[in-house]
Amino acid sequence: MKAEDILRLDREHVWHPYAAVPSGVPVHAVSGAHGVRLTLADGRELIDGMSSWWAAIHGYGHPRLNQAIRDQLDDMAHVMFGGLTHEPAVRLARTLTELTGLDRVFLADSGSVAVEVAIKMALQYAAATGRPGRTRLFTVRGGYHGDTFGAMSVCDPVSGMHHLFSGVLPSHVFGPVPPAGYEEAYLAELAALVGAHADELAAIIVEPIVQGAGGMRFYHPAYLRRLRELADEHGILLIADEIATGFGRTGELFGCDHAGIRPDIMCLGKALTGGYLTLAATLCTARVADGIGVLMHGPTFMGNPLATAVAGASLDLLAERPWREEVKRIEAGLADGLAPAAGHPGVRDVRVLGAIGVIEMVDPVDIAKIQDIVMRHGVWLRPFGRLVYTMPPYACTPDDIAAITHAMVAAATTTSMA
């Protein structure tokens, strides 16, 4: 099909994420993806600085991952997980428990569903352990946990993208946005808030170290350690939403590793399958699982054999490749390449952590204009709010990272002068 035909049918029939109908931002047809590059239907090649929304950490078309899909397809593409099990799922579950130190794995469809399951776990655990009045969660402003209703209820209720639904969502307890640096006063404020609401809290839920789609903020590990202590002091569960931060993105395997803590419940997704198929997981300790008993949730495609097979292959590949060195190299390249944007009149902040690079603008960005500029530099990015940011695949070379940062700086400095 010709590019113009794809785009015409898209305009006539497709509703894109976070967009109106028709979309106010140009849509580009993709004909292929190989390595760290997307090939558009019009023949252009772009370095994917987004890892397809942070998922394709190994790049595209990796032969090991392709073969895992082919091999599994010969056996079965899908089988229900109620009363049945299979090798790819149990192998993946074993690997995840070994990586996280948690005991039980509930396989889900997407990150949002993994958060829904975590919330259900917390509420069921409170009820099953004789504390049915604990029906609220504590979190901090600036967070993002997904687009389904339970997940939306713990996203930032004011500055988040889900404020339109605030009147019909459950009311939870929110602390202030975590500061980037260490502040004793913030630790005290967390302790006071959690203590004041402890009798009604089933769990604390946070994104460890990095607040992703809520603003790409990085915060001090001391805050995460204090939340672990507060959860223990008050008999509250700690939920770590590692959907964006898991599998090496921040420079550690998981965000919690920066603080040296283990949560009671952990949500995983995005990079879990290396960007091949949708799959997520909610893990918990044996104490939580035993306390709950029967968990009232069961996605139709839970434990899908194709998805769990490629996830297992992706984690094997991650274990074999020098991902720490790759992420450190990317971090250094992002820091050097984005430095020229610092101090520009239109730029509020430049920050880098692991394989995450952010230029925060003073004013909201024009997505279409930013994308036009970076595409002319041979790069694909998807800015939002005031942020021009990248989360590139670990397979990117130094030249790829230099191209990404050059495009970001050009976009940030050009648009702010317009």
Active site residues: 18, 144, 241, 270
**Nearest residue to 263 (alpha-carbon basis) of 237, 289, 244:** 237
Q: Where are the alpha helices (DSSP H) in 101-183?
A: 111-128, 149-152
Token pair listed for 174: 């929110």
192 by Cβ neighbours in 10 Å (0-12 / 13-18 / 19+) ranks as: exposed
- How distant, in Å, are the alpha carbons of 117, 166, 172, 293 from that of 288? 13, 30, 21, 9
Task: Name residues whose C-beta falls within 8 Å of residue 79's C-beta, 6 or more positions apart in sequence.
Answer: 86, 305
What DSSP letter does each residue of 30-59 carry, written as one string? EEEEEBTEEEETTS-EEEETTHHHHT-TT-
CA distance 200 to 123: 11
Q: Where are the alpha helices (DSSP H) in 161-220?
A: 184-197
- How distant, in Å, are the alpha carbons of 57, 118, 168, 190, 233 from that of 296? 32, 11, 23, 32, 28
